[in-house]
Amino acid sequence: MRIASFDIETTDLRANMGTLLCASFHEIVPPGYYKNHHDSPNKPYSFVVEDTHVGDPNPDKSLAISLRDEVEKYNAIVTWNGKMFDVPFLNARLLFHKERPVRPQFHIDAMYYAGSSSNRIGSRRLASVQQFLGLENEKTSLDWDIWKAATRGDKKALKYIVNHCEIDVKVLTEAYWRLLPYIANIHR
């Protein structure tokens, strides 16, 4: 079974005003998987909006299609607030571009296992959970000026956002392993 952490970064929280900037994936493999292999542990990988559409208010069509197709290569995706944001935003951008929606086989939104009836950590923000659990990877801080520059096509700023997204999926992968004992059912 192939599972990956998945996260998107956008220019706005609403798909009618915003577009996709990038998304990252990090394939989840069992701890110790690489101990008996000669290759190194897998790294996150990202898809980024094409800069060939400078001036286009909706440059994310090919990115949205690529993300949909990549999500569907996995048996399950793991997100943080992905059932309320990442997948609906991606679907809204696909709808705008007259494309079919993404159909993940299974979707584990790990955020729900950090709160509610599973755990009362105090905050379901991924940064708070990362700190509470003492995870190895640490989320990067957000600089809103860098974010705004990335939305305007600044390549250096966009590179920062991609790095931020890749760290997010690494933190999410670690959180997934720690929260896995609380996951009783996996839904679409």
Number of domains in the chain: 1
Residue 187, in any domain of the structure: no
The answer to whether the pTM exceeds 0.85 is yes
Residue 162, in any domain of the structure: yes
175 membership: H or E segment, kind and range? helix 155-179
Residue 126, in any domain of the structure: yes
Segment 33-54 mean pLDDT = 75
Residue 8, in any domain of the structure: yes
Asked if residues 151 and 11 have their Cβ atoms less than 8 Å apart, the reply is yes
- pLDDT single digits (tens) 123-144: 888 999 999 999 998 888 889 9
Domain span at residue 164 reads: 3-182
60 CB-near residues (< 8 Å, 6+ apart): 19, 20, 21, 49, 93, 97
Single-letter residue type at 47: F
76 membership: H or E segment, kind and range? strand 76-79
- pLDDT single digits (tens) 149-163: 998 889 999 999 999
* pLDDT at residue 77 greater than cutoff 60: yes
Cα gap 135→108, rounded to integer Å: 19
- Name the DSSP letter for residue 115: S
Residue 35, in any domain of the structure: yes
User: What is the CATH classification number for the domain harbouring 52?
Assistant: 3.30.420.10
89 CB-near residues (< 8 Å, 6+ apart): 8, 10, 15, 18, 20
More confident residue, 185 or 82: 82
Residue 188, in any domain of the structure: no
Residue 144, in any domain of the structure: yes
Single-letter residue type at 154: D
* pLDDT at residue 38 greater than cutoff 60: no
